[in-house]
Copies of this chain bind each other. A is one copy, B any other.
Amino acid sequence: MDFSSFITSLGTSFLVFLVLMILFTFLRSKPGNNVVYYPNRIIRGLDPFETGYKSRNPFSWIIEAYSSSEQDVIDISGVDAAVYFVFLSTVFIILILAGIILLPVLLPVAITDGGGKKQSVSKGTFNELDELSMGNITASSARLWAYFIACYWISLISLFFLWKAYRHVSFLRSEAFKSPDEKPEQFAIVVRDIPPVPEGQTRKEQVDSYFKTIYPEAFYRSMIITDNKEVNKIWEELEGYKKKLARAEAVYAGSKTTAKPEGTRPTNKTGCLGIIGKKVDSIEYCNEKINELVAKLETEQKVTLKEKQQNAAIIFFSNRVVAASASQSLHAQTVDRWSVFDAPEPCQLLWPNLKIKYFQREMRQYLVYFIVALAIFFYMIPITFISAFTTLKNLVKLLPFLKSVVQISALRTVLEAYLPQIALIVFLAMLPKLLMFLSRLEGIPTESHVVRAASGKYFYFTVLNVFIGVTLGGTLFKTFKQVQDKPKDVVRLLAESLPGNATFFLTYVALKFFIGYGLELSRLIPLIIYHLKKKFLCKTEAELKQAWAPGDLSYATRIPSDMLIVTIVFCYSVIAPLIIPFGALYFGLGWLILRNQALKVYVPAYESYGRMWPHINNRIIAALILYQITMFGYFGVQKFVYAPLLLPLPIMSILFGFVCAKRFYPSFQNQSLEVAAASALKGVPNMELMFRAFIPPSLSSEKIDDDLFEDFEDARSQVSRSTSFV
């Protein structure tokens, strides 16, 4: 890639970004698009434009996003979103402070160094960038001290701001717990690995007597986890027919024009996909089916509650402090019986995973780790092929019809600049589903934990495969033998290959933020899908609502891909400081655009009170250590004899991570009692509501409730007894 193709790539990225921004400004002002641009506000029943600024002003969203406070974000999108912004702003400030020092110092140092052997930053074709980078410095020159100090500067400010961020997030978490509204999860714990039921007892009696013995006063009641596979299936079928009925009624109502006031009753075929089979009246058919399924559901609900009880339960306490304390305590003598954890939000609890036994969970975990490690290792091979094949020259060879396209010079330049990056992005888009599936397979009991686990896997995947894979890709095959002989030379090899890929990653970062954030803000794809659905598919209000449902911030993929940028920018920050402004722009723009999205678009799927911060923190530290080690290698390549003086840096980072884990992590794992007690002073909540919140929709029905609550009167009398003590 030469200089002109680099500039072209930047230019086109920027152009696309501008076009998307104009589209955004234009489309946003149409009231018909409000459900796409303000779904969050609409769902919460707010006026989309109530914020005081004229929405005609194309930059109003910037002012709104910038002036919104952290508390606004917490109120609207929850603590998790606020923590995500802490992450963005922390990296942003680190990069700004890095840029302020590094750019004015390192660039002149590099340009004015004329002599000596030079290392190419752009495979010899892009001399302008070469002159700005560390490769331009004469080997073992005293000028390397400037780069050396830069390494320390970046490491130290990173650790400083990470520490501040961790403290702040810890504070946010405790404040959120202290909030006065009573959440059902704060009064419950989940117990797994319940031993087999003893003779002559039911599961419920076993669980109740166990916990009543330990918590004679605070125990409220228990809910046995059941195998809901069958009942869920019936319930979903029922819901499907209910939707179909609503749709058929809407179609019928729609067909009652003034010309034909009786309308046409919609029909459908009962066979596969509605294509074959007997033709029936839809409304009648659905009504019939619904009646049939309601009866079936009732029977199945009873069967499930009675006969499909599993070895897990949710335990409710009438006291928050006791619940918080119970979730942290060892209940049985061995860990593989009566193991407990704090209940998550009801919607987050993964019922099917609760029955998995302790050692099976452990086994599954290691099995999944093993599979992921294998996948990471073997993905190297296709990735290397991709980055080798997706050059234009190779593509023309494979697909000869492209030849005529390629002859247009401008298009050729653009294609040349973007092809490898696009291939990479498409490739990475396929992964998250697989990783979410694998994480769920581990037996993790809550949704947010699954997301964190998948996000962690995705991070190592991208860093190892994209960053190291692409970096080493070109040189890997020819040096494969060499590596086999001396595996310890990997660090040196990585350090040598880094500069050659600086432009690749520069354009990668630029593409990510111009195109990625442009699409994010303009919501072009959701908009098109919404309008297509509205026009051709949706008949009922509920269907329409589903068509514009905004989803959540999807941390599972968002955080790892941000993390990849962090890793890339850290690793190149000193070698080619020109990447720093790009990185800063990525996180600055990201903060602004996602703030807008968090306030107006996305609806959080769950709340984990910032539990992902320790993971983010650890991964930033991992990126920092990778950066410090490659810099150590690169200083070695540059024949800088004081390179070993860099070794305190990775040690410092490891220590920092260790201190963070010691000091802050426990309160992310468990709720501290002083926090639980702080909000426990509000009296006893309505425990019945707390209990009902955990009943899955497929099991809740008026009739069943009585059955499920057979001991409710007992429990209530118990509560009133224990409340009198508080």
Q: Tell whether, in the assembled complex, residue B329 and residue A673 are in contact, meaning their CB atoms are under 8 Å apart.
A: yes
Residues of B within 8 A of A338 (CB): 674
What is the minimal beta-carbon distance from A666 to any residue of chain B, in angstroms?
5
Q: A335-B662, A335-B663, A725-B725 are in contact. Are A330 and B672 (CB under 8 A)?
A: yes
A430 at the interface (CB under 8 A from B): no
A334 at the interface (CB under 8 A from B): yes
Q: Which of A67-75, A210-218, A568-576 contacts B (4 or more CB under 8 A)?
A: A210-218
The 0/1 profile, CB within 8 Å of B marked 1, for residues 32-59 of chain A is 0000000000000000000000000000
Whole-angstrom CA separation of A673 from B664 in the bound complex? 26
CB under 8 Å from chain B, chain A span 709-726: 725-726
- Range of interface residues on chain A? 35 or more
Whole-angstrom CA separation of A676 from B328 in the bound complex? 15
When all copies of this chain in the complex are counted, the total is: 2
Q: Tell whether, in the assembled complex, residue A214 and residue B321 are in contact, meaning their CB atoms are under 8 Å apart.
A: yes
Among the listed B328, B332, B666, B677, which residue makes an inter-chain contact with A213, where contact means beta carbons less than 8 Å apart?
Answer: B677
A333 at the interface (CB under 8 A from B): yes
Whole-angstrom CA separation of A210 from B678 in the bound complex? 10
Q: Which of A210, A331, A678 has the most CB of B within 10 A?
A: A331
A29 at the interface (CB under 8 A from B): no
The 0/1 profile, CB within 8 Å of B marked 1, for residues 312-328 of chain A is 00000000010011101
CB under 8 Å from chain B, chain A span 663-684: 663-664, 666-667, 670-678, 681
Q: Tell whether, in the assembled complex, residue B330 and residue A673 are in contact, meaning their CB atoms are under 8 Å apart.
A: yes
What is the minimal beta-carbon distance from A360 to any residue of chain B, in angstroms?
13
Residues of B within 8 A of A324 (CB): 329
A336 at the interface (CB under 8 A from B): yes
Q: A336-B663, A362-B662 are in contact. Are A331 and B672 (CB under 8 A)?
A: yes
A186 at the interface (CB under 8 A from B): no
Q: Tell whether, in the assembled complex, residue A217 and residue B725 are in contact, meaning their CB atoms are under 8 Å apart.
A: yes
Residues of B within 8 A of A120 (CB): none
Residues of B within 8 A of A232 (CB): none
Residues of B within 8 A of A676 (CB): 214
Residues of B within 8 A of A653 (CB): none
A596 at the interface (CB under 8 A from B): no
Among the listed B329, B362, B666, B674, which residue makes an inter-chain contact with A670, where contact means beta carbons less than 8 Å apart?
Answer: B329
Among the listed B215, B664, B666, B674, which residue makes an inter-chain contact with A321, where contact means beta carbons less than 8 Å apart?
Answer: B215
What is the minimal beta-carbon distance from A311 to any residue of chain B, in angstroms?
16
Whole-angstrom CA separation of A688 from B590 in the bound complex? 62
A384 at the interface (CB under 8 A from B): no
Q: Tell whether, in the assembled complex, residue B332 and residue A329 are in contact, meaning their CB atoms are under 8 Å apart.
A: no
Whole-angstrom CA separation of A529 from B666 in the bound complex? 53
Whole-angstrom CA separation of A333 from B671 in the bound complex? 8
A222 at the interface (CB under 8 A from B): no
A608 at the interface (CB under 8 A from B): no
Residues of B within 8 A of A326 (CB): 325, 673
Q: Tell whether, in the assembled complex, residue B331 and residue A328 are in contact, meaning their CB atoms are under 8 Å apart.
A: no
Whole-angstrom CA separation of A678 from B209 in the bound complex? 12
Whole-angstrom CA separation of A210 from B321 in the bound complex? 13
The 0/1 profile, CB within 8 Å of B marked 1, for residues 155-179 of chain A is 0000000000000001101100000
Q: Which of A174, A332, A336 has the most CB of B within 10 A?
A: A332
Q: Tell whether, in the assembled complex, residue B725 and residue A672 are in contact, meaning their CB atoms are under 8 Å apart.
A: no
Q: A214-B673, A215-B321, A216-B726 are in contact. Are A663 and B329 (CB under 8 A)?
A: no
Q: Tell whether, in the assembled complex, residue A333 and residue B672 are in contact, meaning their CB atoms are under 8 Å apart.
A: yes
Whole-angstrom CA separation of A284 from B241 in the bound complex? 104
Whole-angstrom CA separation of A335 from B667 in the bound complex? 8
What is the minimal beta-carbon distance from A277 to any residue of chain B, in angstroms?
56
Whole-angstrom CA separation of A326 from B334 in the bound complex? 19
Q: Tell whether, in the assembled complex, residue A332 and residue B672 are in contact, meaning their CB atoms are under 8 Å apart.
A: yes
What is the minimal beta-carbon distance from A669 to any residue of chain B, in angstroms?
8
Residues of B within 8 A of A170 (CB): 333-334
What is the minimal beta-carbon distance from A614 to any residue of chain B, in angstroms?
13
CB under 8 Å from chain B, chain A span 170-195: 170-171, 173-174
Q: Tell whether, in the assembled complex, residue B674 and residue A210 are in contact, meaning their CB atoms are under 8 Å apart.
A: yes
Residues of B within 8 A of A330 (CB): 328, 666-667, 670-673
Whole-angstrom CA separation of A607 from B663 in the bound complex? 31
Q: Tell whether, in the assembled complex, residue A674 and residue B214 are in contact, meaning their CB atoms are under 8 Å apart.
A: yes
Q: Which of A170, A333, A725 has the most CB of B within 10 A?
A: A333
Whole-angstrom CA separation of A673 from B212 in the bound complex? 12
Residues of B within 8 A of A362 (CB): 662
CB under 8 Å from chain B, chain A span 368-402: none
Whole-angstrom CA separation of A331 from B671 in the bound complex? 8
What is the minimal beta-carbon distance from A367 to any residue of chain B, in angstroms?
14
Residues of B within 8 A of A321 (CB): 214-215
What is the minimal beta-carbon distance from A173 to any residue of chain B, in angstroms?
8
**A/B interface sample: 27 pairs, CB < 8 A:** A170-B333, A174-B333, A213-B674, A213-B677, A213-B681, A214-B321, A214-B674, A216-B726, A325-B326, A326-B673, A328-B330, A329-B329, A329-B673, A330-B670, A330-B671, A330-B673, A331-B672, A331-B674, A332-B667, A333-B672, A333-B674, A333-B675, A334-B663, A334-B664, A335-B663, A335-B664, A336-B663
Can you name 13 extra interface pairs (CB under 8 A) apart from A216-B726, A334-B663?
A: A170-B334, A173-B333, A174-B333, A214-B673, A324-B329, A328-B328, A330-B673, A331-B672, A331-B674, A333-B672, A335-B662, A335-B663, A335-B664
By Cβ-Cβ distance, the 4 closest A-B pairs, closest first, are A214-B677, A325-B329, A330-B672, A174-B333
